Structure 1
Amino acid sequence: MTRYLAPLLFGLIGAAILVGLGTWQVQRLGEKEGILAEREALIHGAPQPLPRTIAPEEQRYRPVELSGEILPGALRVLVSRKQIGPGYLVVSPFRTDDGRLLLLDRGFTPVDNRDLAPRSGPAQVTGNLHWPDERNASTPQNDIAGNTWFARDIGPMAEELGTEPLLVVARKITPADAAIEPLPVDTSNIPNDHLQYAITWFSLAVVWLGMTAYWIWRRATTRET
């Protein structure tokens, strides 16, 4: 029996490690769900004033209501939507009633609408402040001259349109532009794969124990024959 002690311990220790990893993922799942719930509550909370001093980490997702005017001129950010295809996020300058100039992400328009001039004029906006992080090593450089952007780079966009480096992603614009569909801020793009990871680790623990039991059984039956 002692000859099976080492592989048995090896199997039990390995399974314990895998179960521990799975348990940690379950804990992380609870933490992430709590964070997402708090973020959703913030996104859909009561509107707050526009900040005078910009602090992205503190003000991200802050809900706002704006009254003012959408100004002529729009930047187009090339994106693609599942089951729809390529199109653009339309980012326009917006002047509030108290004279502030900021960026307004009005939403998505299909690529066929590239040459259509989006509506400008007085508007009421409900939305959220956002500082999107969309650029990585493979993101192309923006074609500013051709008005094709590959990320919502707030600094360069603000410089191009002469606004504050402040972006509001619209949830609703009144009156609406029929050619533009608002894509409001939500938590759908925040990964939460901890349940899948937990299932993977627990499954590996079961397989590990099964392989250990099979190996011991094979060794036992081989010695008996």
Structure 2
Amino acid sequence: MQRLAFPLLIGLLGTAILLWLGTWQLQRLEWKRGVLNEITSTIDGPAEPLPTMIAPTEQRYQPVALTGEVLPGEVHVLVSVKRQGAGYRIIAPFRTDAGRLILLDRGFVPTQDKDAERRVGPAEVTGNLHWPDDRNSATPANETERNIWFARDIGPLAETLGTEPLLVIAKTETPPAPGIDPLPVSIEGIPNDHLQYAITWFSLAAVWIAMTGIYIRRGGFGAVDPEKGTR
């Protein structure tokens, strides 16, 4: 029995660790669901005035309702949209009735419509404030001379279009802009894979304990006794 103690201990210890990791992922799942529910409540909440002082963390996803006009001039940000393929986000300057100039993400157009004429002028917009984090170490530099951007870099966008560094992602635009498909803020792009991780850890725990049992049966009860032969 002594020679079985160590593999049995390793088997139980490994199983306990894997079960703990699975349980931890379930706890993370509940936490993430709470975060996503909170974000959804913010996105769908009542519209608030545009902030005069910018605080990205506190104001992220803040709903807004704007009345004013879409101005000429726009920036094209290259994106890929599920079930639609490659295209561009249209970022345009928007002047509110109060005279503020901000950035407006009007939505998506297919690649072939990049340089098409689009409706400008008076509009009512509902949407959400956002400070996108599109850029990473692999993101190419924007090709501003061709009006092809690879990230919604709010500072450079505001400088290019002569606006405040404040971006509203449109949910609706009235009257609608033909050819532009709004891409409103949502939780769709926020990953929540904790359930899959939990299943993986619990599956590994089951495999670990099964392999421990097989090892003990083969290495313990199937061992060769020099005096008595094979048991």
TM-score w.r.t. structure 1 length?
0.98
Query: Is 1:59 the counterpart of 2:66 in the alignment?
Result: no
Match of 1:81 in 2: 81
- AA matched with 2:9: L
Which runs of 5 or more structure 2 residues have no equivalent in the other structure? 225-229
- What is the percent sequence identity of the aligned residues? 60
TM-superposition CA deviations, 1:22-45 (whole Å, max 9, x none): 100000000000010010000000
- Conserved? CA contact 1:74–1:118, under 8 Å: no
Once the two structures are superposed, the pairs formed by residues 30-41 of structure 1 within 5 Å of their partners are 30-41=30-41
- AA matched with 1:78: L
Match of 1:134 in 2: 134
TM-superposition CA deviations, 1:117-176 (whole Å, max 9, x none): 221000000000000001001100001111000000000000000000000000000001
Aligned-residue Cα RMSD (Å) equals 0.8
Match of 2:227 in 1: none
Following superposition, the deviation at residue 64 of structure 1 comes to: 0.2
- Conserved? CA contact 1:73–1:93, under 8 Å: yes
Once the two structures are superposed, the pairs formed by residues 58-137 of structure 1 within 5 Å of their partners are 58-137=58-137
- Conserved? CA contact 1:71–1:120, under 8 Å: yes
- Conserved? CA contact 2:69–2:120, under 8 Å: yes
Match of 1:214 in 2: 214
Match of 2:177 in 1: 177
Query: Is 1:22 the counterpart of 2:22 in the alignment?
Result: yes
- AA matched with 1:221: G
Following superposition, the deviation at residue 82 of structure 1 comes to: 2.4
User: SS at the partner of 1:88?
Assistant: strand
- Conserved? CA contact 2:78–2:148, under 8 Å: yes
Corresponding residue pairs, total: 225
Following superposition, the deviation at residue 83 of structure 1 comes to: 2.6
- Conserved? CA contact 2:119–2:178, under 8 Å: no
User: SS at the partner of 2:64?
Assistant: strand
For residues 88 and 118 of structure 1, the distance between their equivalents in structure 2, rounded to whole angstroms, comes to 13
TM-score w.r.t. structure 2 length?
0.96
Once the two structures are superposed, the pairs formed by residues 145-224 of structure 1 within 5 Å of their partners are 145-219=145-219, 220-223=221-224, 224=230
- AA matched with 1:196: Q
- Conserved? CA contact 1:94–1:103, under 8 Å: yes
Following superposition, the deviation at residue 46 of structure 1 comes to: 0.3
For residues 149 and 208 of structure 1, the distance between their equivalents in structure 2, rounded to whole angstroms, comes to 49
- Conserved? CA contact 2:118–2:178, under 8 Å: no
TM-superposition CA deviations, 1:162-211 (whole Å, max 9, x none): 00000000000000112000000001111111101101111000000011
User: SS at the partner of 1:202?
Assistant: helix
For residues 115 and 170 of structure 1, the distance between their equivalents in structure 2, rounded to whole angstroms, comes to 20
For residues 43 and 90 of structure 1, the distance between their equivalents in structure 2, rounded to whole angstroms, comes to 21
Q: Which has the larger radius of gyration?
A: 2
